[in-house]
Structure 1
């Protein structure tokens, strides 16, 4: 997926909230749903969108699925955004 998919994924406020939660570390879907006070079905949709955009990684551990940020993608996005900063040395 490209940057356009990433920016589309963060256009939703609940997905942005999920990303902020995951900044603190891995969480299960149940933990995220409880913090957001949304249904498992709604959360599943949001997590699917974030995974499609490569913003979230999924790890299975025993009976649990954990989600965490794909920091590599965020680094790439920052590099892309940095090119629009004004060069202060000109």
Structure 2
């Protein structure tokens, strides 16, 4: 999780993740969209690959990068737990039970 968090801390790497979310791109295609050098983009891609956030596959002479959403799973779960106040799940479950009970009681009296 820490590697993924560190990887997405950089705005260029976040932009790269958005780019490769929907389409496979080569390093050259990615680098063409940034004002930084191609070697700098290659370093960003290496960080993303090593953190498990992107995958690369070789097709002929080109290496294509794409998003690996599984690399974000642990971070996503941690953030979700952090954003959900403690006890809310039990409260919502209790509310659901009461709603079903009220509906049942209304049907029985109707």
Q: Normalising TM by the smaller chain, what interval?
A: 0.7 to 0.9
Q: Flag as ranges the 4+ runs of structure 1 deviating above 3 A.
A: none
| Number of the residue aligned with 2:33 | 35
User: Structure 2-normalised TM-score?
Assistant: 0.72
2:13 pairs with one of 12, 15, 25: 15
Q: Which residue of 2 aligns with 1:82?
A: 80
CA distance in 1, matches of 2:73, 2:3: 15
Distance in 2 between the 1:89 and 1:36 partners?
47
Moved more, 40-49 or 77-86: 77-86
The gaps in structure 2 that reach 5 residues or longer are 92-110
Q: Which runs of 5+ in 1 are unaligned?
A: none
Relative contact order, CA 8 A, sep 6+: which one is greater?
Answer: 1
Structure 1 or 2: more helix by fraction: 2
What is the deviation of 1:35?
1.0
Q: Which aligned pairs between 1:41-60 and structure 2 lie closer than 5 A?
A: 41-60=39-58
Within the candidate set 6, 29, 32, 2:4 is matched to 6
Q: Separation in 2 of the partners of 1:35 and 1:68?
A: 16
Q: CA RMSD, aligned part only?
A: 1.4
> Matched residue pairs, number?
88
Q: Which structure: larger Rg?
A: 2
